[in-house]
Chains A and B, each alone.
Chain A
Amino acid sequence: DAKTTQPPSMDCAEGRAANLPCNHSTISGNEYVYWYRQIHSQGPQYIIHGLKNNETNEMASLIITEDRKSSTLILPHATLRDTAVYYCIVHISSGSARQLTFGSGTQLTVLP
């Protein structure tokens, strides 16, 4: 799986949009971009994933650049409960039991 680069930490004011960047310049054509988060030693939680089109679900939006070398996770209205470590993971979705490789992620702190 391709390597990703994320800033180690970010702050965001409560109620504002949180924009978390991720670089994955070596991504291959069949690799998806996945985002997970981990709230204080709980199990990682799936957020969203995409291949090349922008995606939106009830939790977040994912913007992938046209060259697919970077992406941004957007939490539109951050709350205190969104404080967590956010992981950007590049992963082949082949319908097989492939491991996720977690990096250090971005510690997002939502401030009141």
Chain B
Amino acid sequence: EPEVTQTPSHQVTQMGQEVILRCVPISNHLYFYWYRQILGQKVEFLVSFYNNEISEKSEIFDDQFSVERPDGSNFTLKIRSTKLEDSAMYFCASSERTSGRNEQFFGPGTRLTVL
């Protein structure tokens, strides 16, 4: 069964460093998403992406964040200068483009620890 994959599973970085989180969505999906979950808190939406541009973004997704689909398979989230409060699980998701069916399939997540 096709699945969303994410790398790395765990990333440790120093405050102020740049990190890139990588995702490979399900191959025939056209919509891509990033969510995050701070330990013990709710899953929060960051950004959605379609047709090589951002569709929606939340207040969390400020200028420190960017997304890119550099090739036909990868979808990346970049944090330019990490802060302690960026420590969280980051989940990538993808969905098909079919009206009436918008279930999102999530990857296993990347645990980001900012020291």
Chain A residues packing against B (C-beta within 8 Å): 32, 34, 38, 41-46, 49, 51, 87, 91-104
Given A99-B45, A100-B45, A45 and B55 contact (CB-CB distance below 8 Å):
no
Chain B residues packing against A (C-beta within 8 Å): 4, 31-33, 35, 37, 42-45, 48-50, 55-56, 58, 89, 91, 93, 95, 97-109
Kindly list 5 other residue pairs between chains A and B, CB separation below 8 angstroms, not including A43-B107, A102-B35, A104-B42: A43-B93, A45-B106, A51-B100, A93-B101, A100-B35
Distance, CA A87 to CA B4, complexed state (A): 20
Q: Check B102–A95 contact: CB distance below 8 A.
A: yes
B40 to chain A: closest residue by CB: A41
Q: Check B91–A97 contact: CB distance below 8 A.
A: no
Among candidates B37, B48, B58, residue contacting A98 with C-beta atoms closer than 8 Å: B48
**Residues of B contacting A93 with CB < 8 Å?**
99-102
Q: Check A94–B106 contact: CB distance below 8 A.
A: no
State how many angstroms separate the Cβ of A18 from the closest Cβ of chain B. Answer: 21
